[in-house]
């Protein structure tokens, strides 16, 4: 408080000092005038009072006595130097501005300053010899009017600044509330959240992310740079290179979702799924990135346990099913069995074969990749074989299968695996087609390979379902509500096989009209690494027997 009072008094004090200096240079005799000397003394006394009085201990408005008393030395100085120096009354602007800026007299400060200025100018008229004339009274009125105008203008500016200050305080309070809300929300969610600027510096990190980060700090250290944290790939075998870590990728401007990493020393590693969202300014220029770290360790462990369970059950089922099929075939060879027994054995054999195919598919989906053994082959005979194999099932369902293909379609691939894909697509098309409809199989050459389309007129699927149809164990709502059997593994396995051939498999479906599955296979094998395993492609020829999967 004392410092503010001194600062408010200094402009008048310093200006008065300058006036006395100019007086010493240009009007030295005036310094001997008693009123001039008293004006200097009072100015110095008021300045000392400003610095000496403990204003904090007095009532808050008590400092206003200083600008009111400032009019006294100004009036004495003006009376002492008149008429040689006429601009001295303008010093009244300083106490007027002080009264207005104090905001203690919001409506009366400017008029009070004008009245004090007028009193300062009229008081000497009473003590001058001779009568008080009208010109002497009206002559100085311009100066109080000017002080009133200056005060009113300062009042407007002060009110505007106070309104803006109040608005700013409200915005700061609202910002502080939002920040507290954001901190509370971020600390409440069970996901690590990290915000960084475009240079990689941390902007925000919630409590969960701080705990996650501590998992990656090497033993014996309290903290470590991002490049030194114990961050591993999805398998947890090797540390991720710095440029492949989520934060480095985010700083590089990449946007990605569900990058799986492991953090921490083995065997206490946690599996994290990391996603990013880019922050942009009003000009859509990237100014940072927000990363979310979701702990999916329990989910990964559950999926691994599920895979192990499926694989174990599949292995356990395969041996007795093989025995059942074998003994059924032996019994069927007895020509003396009654006809109804033969019919029963055929049912047993058919259902056993269906279960064996299902077990084989389950084992194949459990493998990380399916073995591919490429040879130079013609797709047309494979199409004919798959069509012939599907004819009994189609005839039983009252469905016609029509095939259109050129004389030859040469590709590099595994005949057993490609036949497996064709059988899956034919089986699905027949299963979901209505009785009396036709399934079309169209094979064409694309110049760079071959294309096969399997077209049915079944119930079709929604666009949302077509994006998930190749996921393991996924079945559309229509399929789940129907009586058609299936586990949703055939198409997932088919996509795995086609991907390893360097081809593509897509699904286009319209509800109520049908579905089209399209396969493309390159004429020559891919020269790069396998898209799933990262290993060189398998090009060694083999017989169909060697291409079958083992258990």
CATH of the domain at 332: 1.10.287.130
Cβ-count burial of 83 within 10 angstroms (0-12 exposed, 13-18 middle, 19+ buried)? exposed
For residues 443 and 411, give the distance between their C-alpha atoms in angstroms, rounded to a whole number: 13
Which letter does DSSP use for residue 239 in this model?
B
Query: Does one domain contain both 111 and 20?
Result: yes
Low-confidence ranges of the chain (pLDDT < 70): 310-311, 314-315, 354, 361-371, 475-488, 525-551
Do the domain assignments include residue 390? Answer: yes
**Strand ranges of the sheet holding 286-295, from the earlier edge strand across to the other edge:** 202-205, 192-197, 286-295, 270-280, 259-263, 231-232
| Exposure on the CB side of residue 5, measured as CA atoms within 13 A | 23
Query: Does one domain contain both 395 and 493?
Result: yes
**Strand ranges of the sheet holding 514-522, from the earlier edge strand across to the other edge:** 400-404, 438-445, 449-456, 514-522, 504-510
3-state secondary structure (DSSP) of residue 79? helix
CA angle 254, 259, 261 (to 5 degrees): 125
Query: Does one domain contain both 76 and 121?
Result: yes
Give pLDDT, residue 83: 80
Query: Does one domain contain both 147 and 132?
Result: yes
- The secondary structure element, H or E, covering residue 219 is none
The per-type count for the chain, helices as H runs and strands as E runs, is 18, 13
Give pLDDT, residue 440: 94
CA angle 143, 144, 149 (to 5 degrees): 95
Query: Does one domain contain both 11 and 85?
Result: yes
For residues 246 and 197, give the distance between their C-alpha atoms in angstroms, rounded to a whole number: 14
Q: Do 415 and 544 contact (CB within 8 A), yes or no?
A: yes
Query: Does one domain contain both 289 and 340?
Result: no
471: domain CATH number? 3.30.565.10
Query: Does one domain contain both 362 and 472?
Result: no
The number of beta carbons lying within 10 Å of the beta carbon of residue 491 is 22
Do the domain assignments include residue 171? Answer: no
Q: Do 40 and 17 contact (CB within 8 A), yes or no?
A: no
Do the domain assignments include residue 184? Answer: no
Give pLDDT, residue 454: 94
Do the domain assignments include residue 255? Answer: yes
Q: What is the pLDDT of residues 111-145, one digit of tens each?
A: 998 999 999 988 888 777 778 778 878 878 898 99
Q: Per the structure, how many domains does the chain have?
A: 4
Look at the alpha carbons of 36, 37, 41, 44 in this order and tell me if their dihedral is positive or negative.
positive
Domain end among 295, 313, 342 = 295
Give pLDDT, residue 247: 92
Query: Does one domain contain both 493 and 397?
Result: yes
Q: What range defines the domain where residue 55 resides?
A: 2-166
Give pLDDT, residue 465: 82
Query: Does one domain contain both 432 and 533?
Result: yes
Do the domain assignments include residue 428? Answer: yes
Query: What global pTM score does this model have?
Result: 0.51
For residues 339 and 335, give the distance between their C-alpha atoms in angstroms, rounded to a whole number: 9
Query: Does one domain contain both 115 and 215?
Result: no
Query: Does one domain contain both 203 and 346?
Result: no
Do the domain assignments include residue 496? Answer: yes
Residues 117-154 as b/e (b if ≥16 CB within 10 A, e otherwise) read bbebbbebbeeeeeeeeeeeeeebeebbebbbebbbeb
For residues 453 and 450, give the distance between their C-alpha atoms in angstroms, rounded to a whole number: 10
Query: Does one domain contain both 12 and 152?
Result: yes
Report how far apart, in Å, the C-alpha atoms of 205 and of each of 183, 195, 210, 254, 277 are: 9, 6, 7, 20, 15
* 451, β-bridge pairs: 444, 520
């Amino acid at each position: 408080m004392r410092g503010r009072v001194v600062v408010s008094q200094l402009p008048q004090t310093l200006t008065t000092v300058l006036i006395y200096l100019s007086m010493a240079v240009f009007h030295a005799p005036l310094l001997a005038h008693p009123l001039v000397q008293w004006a200097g003394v009072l100015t110095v006394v008021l300045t000392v009072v400003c610095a000496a009085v403990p204003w904090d201990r007095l009532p808050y408005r008590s400092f206003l006595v200083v600008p009111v008393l400032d009019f006294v030395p100004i009036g004495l100085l003006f009376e002492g130097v008149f008429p040689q120096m006429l601009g001295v009354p303008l010093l009244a602007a300083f106490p007027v501005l002080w009264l207005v800026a104090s905001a203690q007299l919001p409506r009366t400060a400017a008029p009070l300053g004008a009245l004090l200025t007028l009193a300062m100018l009229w008081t000497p008229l009473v003590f001058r010899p001779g009568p008080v004339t009208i010109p002497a009274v009206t002559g100085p009125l311009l100066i109080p009017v000017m002080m009133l105008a200056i005060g009113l203008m300062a009042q407007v500016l002060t009110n505007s600044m106070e309104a803006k200050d109040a608005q700013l305080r409200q915005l700061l309070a609202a910002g502080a509330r939002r920040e507290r809300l954001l901190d509370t929300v971020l600390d409440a969610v069970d996901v690590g959240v990290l915000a960084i600027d475009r240079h990689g510096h941390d902007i925000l990190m919630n409590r969960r992310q701080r705990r996650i980060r501590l998992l990656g700090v090497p033993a014996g250290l309290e903290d470590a740079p991002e490049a030194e944290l114990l961050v591993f790939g999805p398998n947890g075998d090797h540390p991720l290179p710095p440029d492949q870590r989520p934060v480095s990728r985010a700083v590089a401007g990449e946007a990605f979702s569900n990058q799986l990493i492991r953090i921490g020393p083995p065997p206490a590693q946690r599996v994290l799924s990391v996603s990013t969202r880019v922050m942009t300014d009003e000009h859509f220029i990237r100014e940072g990135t927000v990363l979310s770290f979701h702990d999916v360790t329990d989910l990964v462990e559950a999926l691994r346990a599920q895979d192990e369970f499926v694989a174990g059950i599949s292995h356990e089922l395969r041996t007795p099913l093989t025995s059942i099929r074998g003994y059924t075939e032996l019994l069927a060879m007895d020509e003396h069995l009654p006809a109804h027994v033969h019919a029963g054995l055929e049912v047993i054999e058919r259902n056993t074969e269906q279960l064996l195919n299902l077990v084989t598919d389950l084992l194949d989906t459990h493998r990380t990749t399916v073995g591919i053994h490429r040879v130079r082959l013609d797709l047309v005979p494979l199409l004919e074989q798959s069509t012939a194999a599907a004819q009994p099932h189609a005839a039983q369902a009252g469905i016609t299968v029509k095939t259109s293909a050129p004389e030859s379609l040469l590709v590099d691939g595994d005949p057993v695996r490609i036949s497996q894909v064709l059988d899956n697509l034919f089986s699905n098309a027949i299963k979901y087609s209505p009785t009396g409809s036709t399934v079309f199989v169209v094979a064409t050459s694309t110049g760079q390979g071959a294309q096969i389309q399997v077209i049915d007129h079944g119930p079709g699927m929604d666009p949302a379902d077509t994006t998930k149809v190749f996921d393991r164990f996924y079945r559309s709502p229509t399929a789940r509500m129907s009586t058609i059997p299936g586990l949703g593994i055939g198409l997932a396995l088919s996509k795995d096989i086609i991907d390893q051939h360097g081809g593509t498999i897509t699904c286009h479906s319209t509800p109520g009209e049908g579905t089209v599955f399209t396969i493309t296979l390159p004429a020559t094998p891919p020269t790069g690494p396998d898209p799933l395993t990262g290993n060189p492609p398998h090009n060694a020829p083999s017989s169909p027997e060697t291409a079958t999967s083992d258990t």
